[in-house]
């Protein structure tokens, strides 16, 4: 005896339900197909351990930041300064460790504070001005792009900062962020474990905490969320800071791993994160997505990046591949999103 | 004109009103949008606010739920004077408005929407988590109490029909302890069958002791569900009638403008 028993959902196709629960499903299928494709195209070279090690090593730096950018995208915002912030984190660390003679632990910590402050700046500005985050973070992007190189040159006389391993505390930090398992070329970095941990934590936050609900709500319908008491502004600012923190981790990890920093690094990579997030099923307009999806998106990039030369093609095709991938993924997301939104009773 | 009939018809009832407004007026510049309105809303009653466009009904309900503040007059909750400067404040005191564009995030699941902004949690510190099992269960229980079956709690809110959305929104309002439920044209976009379901839902909400304020332009809907009818005309409350004193025809007549229409007809005839 039900007042409102309507046939709507009983008739909805099962995939509508699955699509709501598993935004990353499409990217998982795409990653598998792509891997199989390149395995065949490279006559099996793709299946060898060194190749897989290369794929993962290519994917993780993008993957870590893409997960944060994905959450930010679900909340309805963009961050175009995430790439250049990798350079900021590294350059700050380099200057403090090599020029100012700081212990590397202190330098790592201060670099984190600086990045979080930049994330806060992005977030507060977006929330206060109400301008699109695309514009605000583009401003941050160019500001940092200039500042990274200019300040490195000012303090060290060069855009390349070297000999970071001379600083105190290097060995312990190297163990934490750059330990190698296996011998080259079949080597795997401890970074992969950090990446996996970050995916797990982000997934937990997104699906199993109230903050996760706020993230979905902020991007799903900002006004509705605000009306029922969701701290939309705080959620978004927090995610800008999380993204900055992810960029910091990647910047610091690579500075310690390579013992040198190129102040211009990271520029141009902001789009990779966004592409990875979109390919992973996050909706550009917000309100829909997952944390695993962007990581799979980054993995797809890793497969293509390594697979294209292995298949004997010119590596320049990587860029074309990325463009096609973005278009196809966005189209599929759009179609799926429309279907999910319009699937109802006749 | 029938302006003198504005005194409360139910003054003898023992139970005090949940919400009472006294001398409520609102002036926008030189326009008097609402003029000296006195109403008492009681638990378990459905009060239908009816009247022409611009009669002041939307100003009236917006004032009840804190969207706009009165120029003069008082709002009393349980006999105590109160002021709401925002819908959120009104909500915290149990006055909840459900609007046509119901506040739902389209791609979020029903239970996520239901608990949006008030997520139940369990665990401590960094292990504190959204109590998903409880959320789904509590939503289903609340929906069942109202006799609403929305099926799979994991479906996206946008797959709901208009009537189902009303059901979810009303259930959510009641779950959060709404004592005064304000519904702004809940059946305006619905077909006959779904309208019927939503009207039955409104009756159930009233049976559970909620004071319901319903704005609707449809006499049939108002007559079926209403206990009393507040007729607004040009910013004034011109009729406050109990349903026993009315037939559907007399209600339709009142809603169409009542005496004003007669005046107009006379004016046309004698012109």
Q: What is the DSSP letter of A180?
A: E
Which pLDDT does position B188 carry in this prediction?
81
> How many other CB atoms sit within 10 Å of the CB of residue B141?
11
Of A197, A244, A240, the residue nearest A215 (C-alpha)? A240
Chain B residues with CB under 8 Å of A217 CB are: 105, 108, 112, 116-117
Q: What is the pLDDT of residue A258?
A: 93
Q: For residue B123, what is the nearest residue in chain A, using CA coordinates?
A: A209
Residue A129's alpha-carbon distances to A121, A135, A216, in angstroms, are: 12, 11, 22
Question: Which one is predicted more confidently, A76 or B66?
Answer: A76
| Beta-sheet strands, E only, within A232-338 | 261-262
Q: Do B107 and A20 touch (CB under 8 A)?
A: yes
A26 contact B CB<8A: no
Residue A38 lies in a domain: no
Taking an 8 Å cut-off on Cβ atoms, the answer to whether B159 and A229 are in contact is: no
Which residue in chain B has the smallest CA separation from A75?
Answer: B105
Residue A261 DSSP code? E
Compute CA distances B264 → A138, A267, B57, B187, whole Å: 63, 73, 22, 30
Residues 308 through 337 of chain A touching chain B, CB cutoff 8 Å: 337
In the prediction, which pLDDT does B190 show? Answer: 82
Q: For residue A199, tell me if it sits in a domain.
A: yes
8 Å CB contact of A3 and B130: no
Q: What is the pLDDT of residues A38-96, one digit of tens each?
A: 999 999 888 999 999 999 999 999 999 999 999 999 999 999 999 999 999 999 999 99
B201 touches chain A (CB under 8 A): yes
CA A195, A199, A201, A202 dihedral sign is positive
| pLDDT at residue number A12 | 52
Tell me if A139 is assigned to some domain.
yes
How confident is the model over B228-254, as pLDDT tens digits?
Answer: 999 888 888 888 888 888 888 888 887
| Predicted confidence (pLDDT) at residue B99 exceeds the cutoff of 50 | yes
- Phi and psi, residue B240, nearest 5°: -135, 95
**Residue A160 within any structural domain of the chain:** yes
For the segment B159-181, what is each residue's pLDDT rounded down to a tens digit?
888 888 888 888 888 888 889 99
Mean of the per-residue pLDDT values of chain A: 88
SS3 A187: coil
Task: Evaluate whether residue A315 is within a structural domain.
Answer: no
What was the pLDDT predicted at A8? 41
Q: Per the CB < 8 Å rule, is B105 touching A217? A: yes
Given a cut of 70, is residue A7 above it in pLDDT?
A: no
If you average pLDDT over residues B71-87, what whole number do you get? 86
Test B200 with A343 for CB contact under 8 angstroms: no
Q: Considering only alpha carbons, which residue of chain A is nearest residue B203? A: A3
Instruction: Please report the ipTM that was assigned to this predicted complex.
Output: 0.79
On whether any CB of chain A is under 8 Å from the CB of B218, the answer is no
The full DSSP string for chain B is --GGG-S-TTTT-SSPPSEEEEEEEEEETTEEEEEEEEEEE-TT-EEEEEE-TTSSHHHHHHHHTTSS--SEEEEEETTEEE--SSHHHHHHTTEEEE-SS----TTSBHHHHHTTTS--EESSGGG-EE-HHHHHHHHHHHHHHHT-----TTSBGGGS-HHHHHHHHHHHHHHTT-SEEEEESTTTT--HHHHHHHHHHHHHHHHTT-EEEEE-S-HHHHHHH-SEEEEEETTEEEEEEEGGG--HHHHHHHHTTTHHHHHHHHHHHH-
Q: Which tops the pLDDT comparison, A344 or A296? A: A296
* Contact state of B204 with A345 under an 8 Å Cβ cutoff: no
Phi, psi of B177, rounded to the nearest 5 degrees:
80, 35
**Is there a cis peptide before residue A185, judged by omega within 30 degrees of 0?**
yes
Contact between chains at A3 and B159 (C-beta distance less than 8 A) = no
- Is residue B183 within 8 A of residue B98, CB to CB? The reply is yes
3-state secondary structure of A286: coil
Any chain A CB within 8 A of the CB of B148? Answer: yes
Q: What pLDDT, in 10s, does the model give residues A223-266?
A: 888 877 789 999 999 999 999 999 999 999 999 999 999 988 88
Residue A202 domain flag:
yes
- B86–chain A Cβ distance below 8 A for any pair: no
CA B238 to chain CA centroid, nearest Å: 19
What is the CB neighbour count within 10 angstroms for residue B22?
15
Tens of pLDDT, residues B121-145: 898 888 889 999 999 999 999 998 8
A·B CB contacts under 8 A: 134
Q: How far apart are the first and last CA of chain B?
A: 21
Q: How many CA atoms lie within 13 A of A142 on its CB side?
A: 5
Any domain includes A60: no
- Tell me which DSSP letter residue A45 carries: G
As for how many domains chain A has, the answer is 1
With an 8 Å Cβ cutoff, are B167 and A4 in contact? yes
Q: List the domain range (segments joined by +) for residue A159.
A: 65-267+282-295
Give the distance from residue B61's alpha carbon to the nearest chain A alpha carbon, in angstroms.
Answer: 17
Using CB atoms, pick whichever of B116, B158, B164 lies closest to residue A6: B164
Query: Which residues on A lie below 8 Å from B100 (Cβ)?
Result: none
Burial of A234 (0-12, 13-18, 19+ CB in 10 A): middle
Helices (H) and strands (E) in chain A, counts: 15, 4
- Residue-wise over B149-181: b if at least 16 C-beta within 10 A, else e? bbbebebbbbbbbbbbbbbbbbbbbbbbebbbb
pLDDT at A121: 97
Nearest residue, CB atoms, B119 vs list A1, A4, A210: A210
Among B89, B98, B104, B108, pick the best mutation site for testing chain A contact (most A Cβ within 10 A). B108
User: A interface mutation test: which of B135, B159, B197, B201 has the most A CBs within 10 A?
Assistant: B159
Nearest to B116 among A208, A213, A337 (CB): A213
Examine residue A23 and state whether it is found in any structural domain, yes or no. Answer: no
Q: How near does any CA of chain A get to the CA of B116, in Å? A: 7
Q: A149-158: per-residue pLDDT in tens?
A: 999 899 888 8
| Cβ neighbours of A216 in B, within 8 Å | 105, 107-108, 112
* Positions of CATH 3.40.50.300 in chain B: 3-103+178-270
pLDDT tens-digit map of A297-344: 999 999 999 999 998 888 888 888 888 887 887 777 777 766 665 554
Across the interface, which of A207, A217, A343 has its CB nearest the CB of B116?
A: A217
CATH 3.30.160.20 fits B3-103+178-270, yes or no: no
């Amino acid at each position: 005896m039900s007042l409102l028993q309507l046939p709507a959902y009983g008739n909805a196709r099962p995939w509508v339900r699955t699509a709501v629960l598993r935004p990353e499903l499409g990217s998982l299928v795409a990653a598998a197909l792509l891997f199989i494709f390149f395995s065949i195209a490279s006559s099996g070279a793709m299946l060898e351990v060194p190749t897989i090690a290369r794929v993962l090593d290519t994917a993780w730096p993008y993957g870590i930041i893409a997960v944060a950018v994905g959450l930010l995208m679900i909340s309805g915002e963009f961050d175009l300064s995430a790439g250049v912030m990798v350079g900021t984190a590294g350059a700050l660390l380099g200057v403090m460790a090599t020029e100012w003679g700081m212990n590397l632990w202190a330098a790592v910590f201060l670099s984190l504070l600086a990045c979080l402050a930049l994330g806060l700046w992005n977030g507060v500005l977006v929330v206060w001005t109400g301008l699109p985050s695309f514009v605000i973070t583009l401003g941050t992007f160019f500001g940092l792009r200039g500042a990274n190189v200019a300040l490195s040159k000012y303090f060290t006389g060069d855009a390349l900062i070297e000999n970071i391993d001379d600083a105190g505390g290097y060995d312990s930090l190297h163990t934490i962020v750059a330990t190698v398992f296996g011998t080259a070329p079949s080597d795997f970095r401890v970074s992969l474990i950090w990446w996996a941990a970050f995916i797990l934590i982000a997934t937990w936050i997104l699906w199993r905490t109230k903050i996760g609900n706020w993230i979905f709500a902020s991007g799903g319908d900002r006004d509705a969320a605000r009306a029922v008491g969701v701290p939309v502004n705080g959620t978004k600012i927090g995610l800008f800071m999380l993204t900055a923190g992810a960029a910091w981790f990647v910047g610091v990890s690579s500075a310690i791993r390579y013992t040198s920093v190129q102040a211009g690094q990271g520029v141009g990579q902001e789009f990779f994160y966004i592409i990875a997030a979109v390919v992973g099923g996050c909706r550009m307009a917000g309100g829909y997505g997952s944390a695993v999806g962007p990581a799979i998106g980054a993995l797809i990039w890793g497969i293509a990046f390594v697979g294209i030369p292995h298949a004997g093609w010119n590596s320049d095709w990587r860029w074309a591949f990325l463009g096609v991938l973005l278009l196809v993924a966005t189209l599929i997301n759009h179609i799926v999103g429309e279907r999910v939104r319009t699937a109802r009773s006749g | 004109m029938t302006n003198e009939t504005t005194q409360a018809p139910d003054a003898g009832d023992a139970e005090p009103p949940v919400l009472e407004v006294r001398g409520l007026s609102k002036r926008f510049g030189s326009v008097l949008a609402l003029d000296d309105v006195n109403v008492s809303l009681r638990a378990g009653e459905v009060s239908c606010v009816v009247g022409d466009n611009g009669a002041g009904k939307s100003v009236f309900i917006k004032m009840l739920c804190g969207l706009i503040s009165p120029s003069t007059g008082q709002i009393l909750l349980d006999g105590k004077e109160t002021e709401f400067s925002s819908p959120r404040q009104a909500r915290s005191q149990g006055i909840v408005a459900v609007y046509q564009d119901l506040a739902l995030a389209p791609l979020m699941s029903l239970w996520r929407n239901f608990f949006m902004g008030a997520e139940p949690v369990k665990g401590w510190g960094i292990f504190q988590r959204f109590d998903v099992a409880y959320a789904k269960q509590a939503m289903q229980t609340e929906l069942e109490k109202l006799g609403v079956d929305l099926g799979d709690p994991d479906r996206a809110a946008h797959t709901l029909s208009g009537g189902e959305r009303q059901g979810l929104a009303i259930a959510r309002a009641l779950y959060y302890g709404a004592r005064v439920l304000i519904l702004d044209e809940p059946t305006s976009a619905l077909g006959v069958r779904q309208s019927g379901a939503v009207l039955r839902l409104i009756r159930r909400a009233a049976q559970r002791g909620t004071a319901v304020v319903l704005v609707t332009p449809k006499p049939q809907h108002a007559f079926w569900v209403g206990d009393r009818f507040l007729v607004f005309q040009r910013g004034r409350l011109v009729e406050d009638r109990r349903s026993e004193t009315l037939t559907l025809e007399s209600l339709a007549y009142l809603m169409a403008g009542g005496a004003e229409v007669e005046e107009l007809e006379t004016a046309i005839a004698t012109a």
